[in-house]
Amino acid sequence: MPIFTCKIGSSDGKILMKELDAVNEALLRQSLEEQGYVVFELRKKPFQFLLESGFGRKKIGNKELLLFNQELLVLLKAGLPITQALDTILESGGGTLNEILTAIREDVKGGMAFSSAFEKFPRVFPHLYIASIQAGERTGDLPQTIRRYIAFLKRTEGFRGKIIASLFYPAILISVAVVAVALLLIYVVPTFSSIYADSGGTLPLPTQMLINFTGFLKHYLLLFLGAVFAGAVVFRRWSETEAGRFAVDNVKIKTPFFGPIATRYAVAGFTRTLATVLGSGIPIVEAMRMSVGTLNNKVLERGLLSAVHKVEEGSKLSSALESMKLMPPLALRMLSVGETTGSLEEMLGDISDYFEDEIERNLQVLTTAIEPAIMIVMGVIIGGIIITMYLPIFKIASTVS
């Protein structure tokens, strides 16, 4: 949906600048005028295709969102109304989040519900967060809902940080290997090839092939990079279609070793999200529908939606998930016990902990194995290049002897 930059005047005489989604300019103008605003200017944002594909969007990081919610929770517990709490937060902040919070404050002052004001920024705030705010308004205990979401953010951020840390060293090794090979191909091989060209002798086939390859890179590198970039853009656009996304996600979960890790990671996020939403007082079917999107995998989402239908028809959650074969028997037994004892929320959290611990163990094995593997591959490639370039010298030495 197109995004418009709007310059409007409010009923109290203030001039506001907002970014709003709308089907077209006429409908947006009509909607704003019906809300009592005076519309001075509506301008469609340029490069909409970049915005739609994910480039250039305003994003609020989890850490920034966590800090905002911690401040909001303290102020609400102190007894401040929402508008005064937002005013206090705005006095000490800045940046993109403050621009959005300013617009939210104006909407809340105008009588809009707190969650509805957040709903106007779906690209900025996660759907789960907006749903949590709605649940807090519904139950009348917004601070408790925010506290649950803060705990959820801390847990997910901590787990994501562990994954990034475990993959950091292998990423450094791969980067060093790529740089080393690039330097050899760009600087070392051309130096040897010019020396061999001056000598006028016949080169061994491996050496000649390597020199031809570096010559190809030298003349067509920019064209190659352009083709790679164009291919990446086309692939990205295709992967955002329904069929493309499904095909890519299917490959993700069927890849040996990495597929099970990706599946466990998705299910761990789903169970933790479901526990958080259920704890906010939302019925299980609605909570499952809200949590399905956190899987971030169309194949798994399709399977879980079928599980949602089974729960709607009266099946137990454990029975519905058992048919998907996503969880091991131990996790399903824990889920069944949670349903029987009325501690489903707690059991879902324990299941998420179980999956996260298993992922950490798998990543530990992966990083332990991949480090020497990278070193071996790097040594073979670099050693192969060096030996290939020295083959003519070995040939000359054998001829002389």
Q: pLDDT tens-digit profile of 321-352?
A: 887 777 778 888 888 888 888 888 888 888 88
- pLDDT confidence of residue 51: 45
Average the pLDDT over each of 137-141, 210-214, 309-313 and give the range with the smallest value.
137-141
CA distance 339 to 228: 51
Say whether both 46 and 117 belong to one domain.
no
Q: 124-129 long-range CB contacts below 8 Å, 24 or more apart? A: 124/58, 124/59, 124/60, 124/100, 125/60, 125/65, 127/290, 127/293, 128/273, 128/276, 128/277, 128/290, 128/291, 128/293, 128/294, 129/65
Q: Is the pLDDT of residue 6 over 60?
A: yes
Give the angle 76-78-80 at the CA atoms, nearest 5°.
55
**Which of 86, 106, 125 marks a domain boundary?**
125
Say whether both 68 and 38 belong to one domain.
no
CA distance 268 to 260: 12
Contact call for residues 324 and 304 (beta carbons, < 8 A): yes
CA distance 92 to 94: 7
Q: What CATH number is associated with residue 317?
A: 1.20.81.30
- Residue 113 covered by a domain: yes
* In the chain, % of residues over pLDDT 90: 2
- pLDDT confidence of residue 235: 92
- Residue 131 covered by a domain: no
The band of 373, judged by pLDDT with boundaries at 50, 70 and 90, is: confident
Q: Is the pLDDT of residue 58 over 70?
A: no
CA distance 253 to 299: 9
- Residue 148 covered by a domain: no
Mean pLDDT of the chain: 80
Say whether both 20 and 68 belong to one domain.
no
Say whether both 7 and 88 belong to one domain.
no
- Residue 294 covered by a domain: yes
The band of 52, judged by pLDDT with boundaries at 50, 70 and 90, is: very low
What pLDDT, in 10s, does the model give residues 169-219?
888 888 888 888 888 888 888 888 887 777 666 778 888 888 888 888 778
What pLDDT, in 10s, does the model give residues 12-40?
777 777 777 665 777 778 777 877 788 88
- pLDDT confidence of residue 232: 92
- pLDDT confidence of residue 229: 93
CA distance 156 to 159: 5
Number of domains in the chain: 3
What pLDDT, in 10s, does the model give residues 160-170?
787 788 778 88
Say whether both 260 and 353 belong to one domain.
yes
The band of 54, judged by pLDDT with boundaries at 50, 70 and 90, is: very low
Say whether both 258 and 304 belong to one domain.
yes
CA distance 79 to 116: 22
Q: Is the pLDDT of residue 122 over 80?
A: no
Say whether both 75 and 97 belong to one domain.
yes
Say whether both 281 and 319 belong to one domain.
yes
Amino acid at 396: I
- Residue 174 covered by a domain: no
Closest CA to 320 of 281, 345, 288, 273: 288
Say whether both 315 and 268 belong to one domain.
yes
Say whether both 266 and 321 belong to one domain.
yes
Q: Is the pLDDT of residue 55 over 70?
A: no
Q: Which of 15-24, 31-40, 249-258, 277-286 has the highest mean pLDDT?
A: 249-258
pTM: 0.63
Say whether both 19 and 75 belong to one domain.
no
Q: Is the pLDDT of residue 95 over 80?
A: no
- Residue 367 covered by a domain: no
**Which of 102, 125, 148 marks a domain boundary?**
125
Q: Can you give the residue range of the structural domain that contains 93?
A: 62-125
Say whether both 353 and 268 belong to one domain.
yes
The band of 227, judged by pLDDT with boundaries at 50, 70 and 90, is: very high
- Residue 118 covered by a domain: yes
The band of 49, judged by pLDDT with boundaries at 50, 70 and 90, is: very low
- Residue 23 covered by a domain: yes
What pLDDT, in 10s, does the model give residues 377-392?
888 888 888 888 888 8
